[in-house]
Chains A and B, each alone.
Chain A
Amino acid sequence: GESVGLHLPTLSVQEGDNSIINCAYSNSASDYFIWYKQESGKGPQFIIDIRSNMDKRQGQRVTVLLNKTVKHLSLQIAATQPGDSAVYFCAETVSGGYNKLIFGAGTRLAVHP
């Protein structure tokens, strides 16, 4: 498969451990945030989103935390599995304008057995 980013930061974890992927966003006016997962050779896949009036949201095995004070977003994956190996992107939407999404560069998650 191809690489979506040759020089992305990489997080290596053992299967079964919890993973935390971090993202610093740029605009204090952003009001909506999304995490995407991208596997090799595929398009980004929606994982979970959160609005700025929340600081935590949970899905199946995933939790997103939002800290607006320091403009920081994190994605926690519980009991990481080999199928979680992928590149993870955060995206922010700035309020106003045309609802534009700004994407981060991504973090590669490598899960080892």
Chain B
Amino acid sequence: NAGVTQTPKFQVLKTGQSMTLQCAQDMNHNSMYWYRQDPGMGLRLIYYSASEGTTDKGEVPNGYNVSRLNKREFSLRLESAAPSQTSVYFCASRNDPGGHRSPLHFGNGTRLTVT
């Protein structure tokens, strides 16, 4: 099993450009998440999807959109990138039907720089 796979690993964008970060998990997990990680600020939740067909905002959703394409895939889109979106983005998943407690499994991240 590959676990959680994110593409691309690195990306440089100019201000105003758009891009989609891809994430796929092969663990049959129901929930999927997008976080950003900035120095000194820890992991902050952007959006999550508790199940296929649902998405909800996290702490810092502004400037992002998401799509839960199917049970395996959850993409994050930046429509018009800004320098403030320079960060490391992590996708994560877990199996937590009905709020069952279980750990998140993370991918290895996409390192995005917006100039």
Interface check B99, CB cutoff 8 A: yes
Interface with A: B39-47, B62-70, B71-79, which one? B39-47
A38 CB to nearest chain B CB (Å): 9
Fill in one digit per residue for A1-36: 1 if any B CB lies within 8 Å of its CB, else 0: 011111100000000000000000000000110101
State whether the Cβ of A68 lies closer than 8 Å to any Cβ in chain B: no
Q: Is B53 among interface residues, defined by CB-CB distance under 8 A?
A: no
Which residues of the other chain, A, contact B105 by a CB distance below 8 angstroms?
A: 46
A-B contact count (CB 8 A): 62
| Interface residues contributed by chain A, number (CB under 8 Å) | 29
Determine if B40 and A49 form an interchain contact, defined as CB atoms under 8 angstroms apart. no
B103 touches A34 (CB 8 A): yes
With a cutoff of 8 Å between Cβ atoms, the chain B residues found around residue A58 in the complex are none
Other-chain contact of B43, A7, A44, A99 (Cβ < 8 Å): A44
B111 and A104 contact, CB distance less than 8 A: no
Point out the residues of chain A lying under 8 angstroms from B112, CB to CB.
none
B40–A98 touching, CB < 8 Å: no
Residues of B within 8 A of A31 (CB): 101
CB atoms of B40 and A105 under 8 A apart:
yes
Let me know if A4 and B45 touch, CB within 8 A.
no
Inter-chain contacts of B108 with A (CB < 8 A): 41-43
Can you list 21 A-B contacts (CB < 8 A)? A4-B88, A5-B40, A7-B40, A31-B101, A36-B106, A41-B108, A41-B109, A42-B108, A43-B90, A43-B106, A43-B108, A44-B43, A44-B104, A44-B106, A46-B104, A49-B103, A51-B101, A98-B99, A99-B96, A101-B104, A105-B42
